[in-house]
């Protein structure tokens, strides 16, 4: 009878242990389910927020990449982070273009013996590359968050418009600087030419 009592006690012990393990597992599963729900909610909040601030994301990604590609020549954080401002496509593109092209003189000072046209083209290629890398990262993030949308979505349209405006701004900067380099060679009025003509 003693042996039977020992088996019965062991059996009761195993059942109690299994019940305790199931309770703990259920509790862990409950905790995991609750954590997963919180993660999904946070992810959805980030997704919605990123959709509302997609141009901010593009701006930040572009400025970060521009800082990265300009760092070897101009040092870290060559382009200061802008404070929250107008986030329209025109405003964001304007800031990206003006902040990046404003670094030209510092960039040029690093290469005083380089042909001016080559220097200018290299600079624009550098900032364009940085912008395109930042743009690519921003669009990847927006796609990953599910806010990039179809071709006619407002987020995508705004980002693509900003991209076009920045590219146009870089092209305009390059053309203006090249024209300024060529102006004295074209016989344009310079102080020396003006004095000689009036003498």
pLDDT tens figures, 36-85: 445 545 544 554 455 556 777 777 787 778 778 777 777 777 665 433 45
Q: Report pLDDT digits (tens) over 140-192.
A: 888 888 888 787 888 889 999 999 999 999 999 999 999 998 886 655 444 44
- Residue 27: band (very low, low, confident or very high) from pLDDT cuts 50, 70, 90: low
Domain boundaries, the chain: 1-52, 53-185
- List the CATH code of the domain at 53-185: 1.10.132
- The pLDDT value recorded for residue 142 is 86
Residue 163, token pair as written in the block: 């991209």
Query: 165: which residues sit within 8 A by CB, 6+ positions away?
Result: 89, 90, 93, 94, 97
Q: Looking at residue 57, what is its pLDDT? A: 75
Q: Which string of DSSP letters, residue by residue, matches 42-91?
A: HHHHHHHHHHHTHHHHHHHHHHHHHHHHHHHHH-TTSSPPPPS---SHHH
Long-range (24+ apart) CB contacts under 8 A made by 108-111 are 110/73, 110/74
Please check the confidence at residue 92 and state whether its pLDDT lies above 50.
yes
Question: pLDDT at position 71, please?
Answer: 75
């Amino acid at each position: 009878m003693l042996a039977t009592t020992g088996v019965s006690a062991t059996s009761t012990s195993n059942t109690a242990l299994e019940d305790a393990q199931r309770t703990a597992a259920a509790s862990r599963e409950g905790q995991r389910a609750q954590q997963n729900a919180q993660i999904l909610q946070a992810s959805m909040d980030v997704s919605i927020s990123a959709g509302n601030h997609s141009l901010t994301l593009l701006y930040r990604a572009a400025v970060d990449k521009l800082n990265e590609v300009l760092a070897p020549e101009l040092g870290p954080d060559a382009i200061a982070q802008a404070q929250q401002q107008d986030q329209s496509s025109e405003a964001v593109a304007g800031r990206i273009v003006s902040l990046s092209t404003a670094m030209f003189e510092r960039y040029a000072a690093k290469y005083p013996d380089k042909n001016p046209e080559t220097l200018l083209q290299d600079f624009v290629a550098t900032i364009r590359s940085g912008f395109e890398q930042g743009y690519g990262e921003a669009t990847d993030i927006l796609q990953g968050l599910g806010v990039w949308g179809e071709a006619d979505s407002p987020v995508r349209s705004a980002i693509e418009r900003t991209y076009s405006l920045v590219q146009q701004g870089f092209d305009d900067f390059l053309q203006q600087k090249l024209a300024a380099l060529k102006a004295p060679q074209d016989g344009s009025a310079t102080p020396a030419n003006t004095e000689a003509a009036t003498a």
